Amino acid sequence: MGRRIRWAGVTILVCFALLIVQLVNVQFRRAPALADSPYNPRVAAQRFDNVRGSITASDGTILAESVKTTQGPYHYTRAYPVGNVPGGNIYAGVTGYDSIFFGTSGIEYEYNSYLEAHPQQARNLSQLIFDQPASAPDNVVLTIDPVLQQAAWNALTTLPPGQNRDGAVVVLNPTTGAILAMVSNPTFDTNAFASPNITAEQGADYADSIRDHEGYQPDNPIAIGSVFAPGSTFKVVTSTAVYNLDPSLENFSFKVAPFVKFPNGLPIYNDGGTPCGGTMITMLPASCDPGYAALGAALGIKTLTQQAQLFGLNVCGPSDTNVPGIDLPHVQPSCISDVPPGPVNDALVGQTAIGQYDDAMTPLQNALVASAIADGGVIMTPHLMAEITDPQGNVITTFEPTPMLRASSQTAAAAVDDLMEGVATHGTAAGVGFPSSWQISVKTGTAQFPGGKEEETQDWMIGFMPSRGTPQLAFAVVVPQQEQDLTGALVAGPIVKAVVSAYVAEKGLP
């Protein structure tokens, strides 16, 4: 009996000890995290009982703001007043949302510490000593140009009947990295996530996680969250590898033929089985698949991979961790096919060199490839924040343009620029009708859809303008899962033309 009492006493003492340990853990070690947790009712009350800073476009258009509300338990709710379209908001993939239940996403997430009410800096000696300024939020000014954002949305979502309209458009300034437009379709309704009704927010989240009839989720912006076979746009990378890493192949010439056959693989045919060939000067404008496949095999997978990594791509596989340093969460990495070196794999190297096999790129990454050629081989860090201001309009911080990568030498970039200009003037994009005054350089891409239907393609166009002087725009457009008889020039080309037209008109250019 006494032994049982002793064991019971020991058990009680152990329980008390564990209780004390947990109390210390909660009160001291975990206290800061619990105090700041979004699930802490006091934190939620502080967030939504105070004004949150605004998010504005480059021209001052308010994209997100706090408004007073009498619905729900809090004093303020988030509102997204512009860009609303049936079923969504054209800025959703940029601003994200501020939700009572789901927290924040997009720019709302990246700059949450500024947008929330927080102690302001003292601006004079009196404030510093006697009268510390009250807590208040800051405001975030973005680089987004509403004119280009609207033009990209309109062009993407009004493609002719029979063409799928899910896709993305990314436009940036190659010399600064400033994102001028970033559109994804499908999109989602940011205001639905600002509802004081949690059940309504949960319903919106569920609806946005369901793939649409073209297979894409509204809550995963295609511009940064989906990867596609880049197709012939990857020939920009292959061409750069020659000029930048292996100049001995600058005069590589492929004998005119409709296909190329490697010892251990199926033949690689040109589009439509038409014969093509020559040097890069003729092959890139014509987008000669067999010629570029042979060129890729001559370069070898080691050189191709090295050049792709200089542009910021990973090798497909477990190392897919490097992503562009843009100020948005959940950016998908891009990659080049993982092909073991050796002649036995020349067929796979050839497919990789023309943007097939396992090559996979986001629209953002492909826009950065174009921007590197535009800016003499340098990729500037892409960014959406232009500046942050306090409640009085004083600038707290600005984004300083910063080089992110050196993709190639200036000489190599200039040589590829010449090839891409030929695509617009007399190559696969000549039928788009770009005015010569734009001096535009582009590359089209019509990639087979890996794992998809045999008759479907991913249709691309990347490029920049002007090709002479200081570049002003670089861009990438992808409209995936198109019928096989459509091409990057036919589908993505008119979107590029519409966006550049809007820019030219806005800036008063010729």
pLDDT digits (tens, 9 = 90+) for 7-31: 766 677 766 766 676 766 656 666 5
pLDDT at 464 over 80: yes
More confident residue, 125 or 237: 237
**Rg (the chain; Cα; Å):** 27
Give the pair of three-digit tokens for residue 339. 């092909």
pLDDT-wise least confident of 66-75, 85-94, 372-381: 66-75
Q: What is the pLDDT of residue 134?
A: 72
Task: Note the Cα 418 to chain centre separation in Å.
Answer: 26
List pLDDT tens digits, range 279-312: 999 999 999 999 999 999 999 999 999 999 999 9
DSSP single-letter state for residue 340: -
Q: What is the mean pLDDT of residues 370-394?
A: 97
pLDDT-wise least confident of 44-58, 110-124, 202-216, 335-349: 44-58
Placement of tokens 């680089």 in the chain: 143
More confident residue, 133 or 62: 62
Q: What is the pLDDT of residue 197?
A: 86
Q: What is the pLDDT of residue 468?
A: 82
pLDDT at 258 over 90: yes
Prior bond to 32 cis, omega within 30?
no
What's the Cα-to-Cα distance from 238 to each of 265, 280, 284, rounded to whole Å? Answer: 20, 10, 10
Q: Closest Cα partner for 474 from 396, 372, 388, 349?
A: 372
Average pLDDT score, the chain = 90
Q: What is the pLDDT of residue 174?
A: 98
pLDDT-wise least confident of 86-100, 125-139, 355-369, 488-502: 125-139
**pLDDT band, residue 336 (cuts 50/70/90):** very high
**pLDDT band, residue 448 (cuts 50/70/90):** confident
Sequence-separated (6 or more) residues with CB below 8 Å from residue 334: 227, 312, 313, 314, 360, 361, 362, 365, 366
Give the pair of three-digit tokens for residue 244. 């930048």
Q: In angstroms, rounded to a whole number, what is the distance separating the alpha carbons of residues 236 and 415?
A: 11
Q: In angstroms, rounded to a whole number, what is the distance separating the alpha carbons of residues 205 and 390?
A: 32
